[in-house]
């Protein structure tokens, strides 16, 4: 009898475990909204109970559950742009966190059909942010933006980077009669970006499409319900990055905004980096784009181009840009035996620079050449132990390219022994 009772208990326990289902949150669509607006969105995933419980990690958004799979998301008028994480849970577990992106410009949803350049969705001159989806295999989306001769059209797609859409998107700018004028595949991770100067007045086409982020054997454009994106298009001001790229905690500093179509009113910001923040999103009301700046306890400097070689007074963080010069040179002179970590951030912060660092001694003998930190990280980092003599570093682009988007942040931080 006891054996039968034990068997019944085991069976009931296993049944309860089988019935225990944690929620799965696949995506939210639209995946963002403008500051000061309320967005009606759909949650995609598996939800054993409705409404589920929710954790929102930012006071900038409030999420209210509606009918099954639908929510209302209100963005605070004073919210800062960028991703706002949330997750749902029940008594059996919790979902992975997902991001709802807060933007600074008006937002709309993609309207089908817009598969060809002959029948694009018209958006005027912008600025506008389009929430869209490559819903089926072979899907392409086209948008018409009005530009005057000499105006810069800026287009940026957020998909794999930040929304975690399982796609590798590509972007093209076409003339009004369908000729490809510019294209880009990967600027921010797998996401494309283009800044293009219109040669004539006209309605230029932005055409986008995607491949799987994990390559397979298909030879056509890909699509799925999870291929969601946020596409920014503007002929107005756009903030790409700032200088310097770091702020020293507790020190007032002027940030120079870099990007396209930035008039004098968008040129600079006065900042005072106060603890306990570790980073902040820099933006300007009325401009598209933003940039995440980190805070550091060390001096934050800008590379001075007039000097051939910069003598480093470490620890410090230096921001530089290979806009014209093909290399920047640094001299390191530390106390004998001191060890420093040298880290270059470029691709990880949205730069086009693929950094290569060459270390030489005072006689010009090459000691070390450092490229990628790892298979998934194209930035560079390494450690230097001082011999008491000067050592020299040269930062270049791996492909010897230059331009205003070839910026970097190099850190010279002492290694503390355990």
- Residue by residue, pLDDT tens for the chain (418 residues) are 555 555 555 444 545 444 578 999 999 999 999 999 999 999 999 999 999 999 999 999 999 999 999 999 999 999 999 999 999 999 999 999 999 999 999 999 999 999 999 999 999 999 999 999 999 999 999 999 999 999 999 999 999 998 999 999 999 999 999 999 999 998 888 999 999 999 999 999 999 999 999 988 888 899 999 999 999 999 999 999 999 999 998 888 899 999 999 988 888 888 776 655 678 899 998 899 999 999 999 999 999 876 667 788 889 999 999 999 999 999 988 888 899 999 999 999 999 999 999 999 888 899 999 998 776 788 999 999 888 888 899 999 999 999 999 999 999 999 987 6
pLDDT value of residue 11: 45
254 Cβ neighbours under 8 A, 6+ residues apart: 268, 269, 270, 271
Which CATH number is associated with domain 112-236?
Answer: 2.60.120.380
> How confident is the model at residue 12, as a pLDDT?
47
Specify the CATH architecture of the domain 237-297.
Sandwich (2.60)
Asked whether the beta carbons of 46 and 28 are under 8 A apart, the reply is no
What pLDDT is stored for residue 4 in this prediction? 57
| Contact present, 247 and 271 (Cβ < 8 Å) | yes
DSSP assignment of 235-292: SS-EEEEEESSEEETT-EEEEEEEEES--GGGSEEEEE--TT-SEEEE--TT-B--EE
**Helix and strand numbers, DSSP H then E, in the chain:** 2, 35
CB atoms within 10 A of CB 220: 9
Dig out the tokens for 374 from the structure.
């790892």
Architecture (CATH level 2) of domain 21-103:
Sandwich (2.60)
CATH topology of domain 301-418: Jelly Rolls (2.60.120)
Q: Considering the chain, tell me which residue range(s) the CATH 2.60.120.380 domain(s) occupy.
A: 112-236, 301-418
The predicted pLDDT at position 134 comes to: 98
Whether residue 166 contacts residue 213, with contact meaning beta carbons closer than 8 Å, is answered with: yes
Q: What is the pLDDT of residue 307?
A: 63
**Spatial CA neighbour of 73 closest among 64, 60, 84, 85:** 64
């Amino acid at each position: 009898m006891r054996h039968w009772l034990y068997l019944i208990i085991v069976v009931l326990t296993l049944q309860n475990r089988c019935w225990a289902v944690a929620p799965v949150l696949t995506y939210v669509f639209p995946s963002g909204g403008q500051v000061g607006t309320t967005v009606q969105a759909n949650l995609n995933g598996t939800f054993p109970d409705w409404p589920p419980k929710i954790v929102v990690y930012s006071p900038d958004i409030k999420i209210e559950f509606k009918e099954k799979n639908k929510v209302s998301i209100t963005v605070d008028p004073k919210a800062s742009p960028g991703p706002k994480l949330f997750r749902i849970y029940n008594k059996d577990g919790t979902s992975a966190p997902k991001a709802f992106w807060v933007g600074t410009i008006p937002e709309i949803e993609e309207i089908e059909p817009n598969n060809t350049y002959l029948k694009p969705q018209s958006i005027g001159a912008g600025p506008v942010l389009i929430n869209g989806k490559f819903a089926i295999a072979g899907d392409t989306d086209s948008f018409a933006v009005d530009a005057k001769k000499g105006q810069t059209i800026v287009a940026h797609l957020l998909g794999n980077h930040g929304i975690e859409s399982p796609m590798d998107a590509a972007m093209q700018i076409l003339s009004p009669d369908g000729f490809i004028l510019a294209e880009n595949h990967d600027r921010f991770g797998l996401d494309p970006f283009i800044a293009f100067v219109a040669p004539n007045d006209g309605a230029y086409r932005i055409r986008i499409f995607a491949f799987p982020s994990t390559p397979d054997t298909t030879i056509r454009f890909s699509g799925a319900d999870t291929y969601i994106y946020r596409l920014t298009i503007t002929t107005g001001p756009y903030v790409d990055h700032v200088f310097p790229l770091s702020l020293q905690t507790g020190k007032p500093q002027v940030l120079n905004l870099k990007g396209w179509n930035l008039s004098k009113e968008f040129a600079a910001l006065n900042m005072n980096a106060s603890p306990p923040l570790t980073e902040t999103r820099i933006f300007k009301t009325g401009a598209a784009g933003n940039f995440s700046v980190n805070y550091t306890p060390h001096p934050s400097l800008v590379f001075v181009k007039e000097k051939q070689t910069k003598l480093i007074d470490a620890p410090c963080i230096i921001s530089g840009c290979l806009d014209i010069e093909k290399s920047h040179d640094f001299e390191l002179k530390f106390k004998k035996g001191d060890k420093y970590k040298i880290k270059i951030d470029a691709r990880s912060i949205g730069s086009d620079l693929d950094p290569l660092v060459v270390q030489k001694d005072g006689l010009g003998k090459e000691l070390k050449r450092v490229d990628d930190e790892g298979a998934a990280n194209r930035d560079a980092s390494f450690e230097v132990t001082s011999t008491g003599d000067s050592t020299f570093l040269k930062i270049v682009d791996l492909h010897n390219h230059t331009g205003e988007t070839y910026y970097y942040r190099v850190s010279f931080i002492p290694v503390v022994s355990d």
